[in-house]
Amino acid sequence: MTCRDIPPHVWAQAEEAVINYLALRLGVHNATDVAQDTMLTVLRRSDFEFEKEEDFLRVCLGFAKRVGPESRRSAERRATDVLTSEPPDQASGIAGLDGPEVAIYLKEMLALGKQHLSERDYRLLERATVCDGKELMAEFDFPNVQTMRVHLYRIRKELAKLGGWTKPSRKAKI
C-alpha cells in the first residue's frame, strides 16, 4: 500500500494531526500552510509503502518534524518589517553627538559659517533649513534646482572642512 492508496478520510485525519503537531509541539504560527506543504511532500513521494493505514500517520508526523523547523527558518530569512505611510523619524545624533550636543554643534557650525562664508552663501544656508526649493530658487536667482542643490552641497562641504568634520582624502600623496 502506497500513499496514493490511502483513503481521503485518513488523509484528512493525518492533516489534522500534523496541524496540531506543528502548532502545539513546534510552535509554528502558520501551521495550516506548513501542514499542507508537509502533506504535499508526502504525496510527491511515491516510494513509501505501508503495511497498514496506521503507519501513514507516523510517516506524516515524521515529515512534519522536518518540514516544520525548515519553514520557520525560511520565514525568519524572509521576514520583513511592516511598511508605514509615515516617514521615519529623524536621527537624533550627528556623528557621535547626541541630545544637547547636537544643538551646540549646530550653533558652532552656524557661527563658523557666518564668519567664513560669503553673506549670500550664509543666507542661503539659513533659508534652506526652512524653505522649499522653489522659494530658494526664486529668492536667490538660481536657474534650476540642480544648480541650487550643487551650490548648497558645496557650502556644506566648506562648512565641514571649516569645522574639522571631513574625511581624510584617499588620494595617494607622492
% of the chain surpassing 90 pLDDT: 10
Nearest to 20 by CA among 8, 41, 38, 35: 35
What CA–CA distance (Å, rounded) separates 57 from 161? 72
Q: Quote the pLDDT of residue 17.
A: 93
Q: What's the pLDDT tens digit per position in 62-96?
A: 989 888 888 877 777 776 766 666 655 555 456 56
Average pLDDT of span 24-49: 85
Residue 148 has pLDDT above 70, yes or no: yes
Confidence of residue 171 (pLDDT cuts 50, 70, 90): low
pTM score of the predicted model: 0.44
Q: What's the pLDDT tens digit per position in 2-23?
A: 888 888 999 899 999 999 988 8
What CA–CA distance (Å, rounded) separates 93 from 102? 7
Residue 102 has pLDDT above 90, yes or no: no
Most confident of 26-30, 81-85, 163-167: 26-30
Given a contact cutoff of 8 angstroms between Cβ atoms, the answer to whether 38 and 64 are in contact is yes
Given a contact cutoff of 8 angstroms between Cβ atoms, the answer to whether 10 and 60 are in contact is no
Confidence of residue 130 (pLDDT cuts 50, 70, 90): confident
What CA–CA distance (Å, rounded) separates 88 from 125? 24
